[in-house]
Amino acid sequence: MNNEYGKETSKKINKKSKKLKPWQILLISIIALPTIIIGAFSENNEEKVLTEDINNEIFNEVKLEKNVARICDGINIIEDCELNGKKYVLYKYHPPVEEVSHIEKVKKYKTVIVGYCTLCRDGTYSPTCATGRGACSHHGGVAQWSAPIYNQVEYYEEVKVIDVPASKERYEIIEKID
């Protein structure tokens, strides 16, 4: 044996063997040899037994935990728990969330007056924007002198886009119905 216990035992046996009679040594050898052999093979069994004991202990603790009322804290213990005498299926804390957003430029169009011209009664404008007699004569006459001419002009507007809306802290609660 390589451990200290084995060395001490060997020393004691050697010291005693000087005083022992040969038949006693033979008897001790017959008894000790099987014990040493069994001990060498049983080290693995001891590990198995130790592992089984640990597993049983953990299993028993889990069974005890199920029988003991767990107190809800909303963070670590959130399911099948109790708080202030009420039982909950779910009791989960949600911290406040700040709004996350970004700015985007959006192309938009607006109608603006780009000039004035003579408007004919058929809805067309005089090609020369004539202001005298005979203007719009082939289009039913003049509907409006110096009518505004409108056109669409593009422009960019900054728009706030909310990626994650802000929320207050809250508890998600589902009470257990007995």
Residue 94 lies in a domain: no
Banded model confidence at residue 154, pLDDT cuts 50, 70, 90? very high
In a domain, 73, yes or no: no
Which of 67, 83, 115 finishes a domain?
67
Asked if the model's pLDDT at residue 1 lies above 50, the reply is no
Strands (E), 2-78: none
Q: Residue 46: what are its φ and ψ, rounded to 5°?
A: -60, -40
Domain closes at, from 67, 83, 117? 67
Domain extent, residue 54, equals: 4-67
Model confidence pLDDT, tens digit, residues 78-107:
888 888 888 888 888 999 999 999 999 999
How many CB atoms neighbour CB 139 within 10 A?
17
Are 63 and 104 in the same domain?
Answer: no
What is the model's pLDDT at position 109?
94
- Considering the entire predicted model, what is its pTM? 0.38
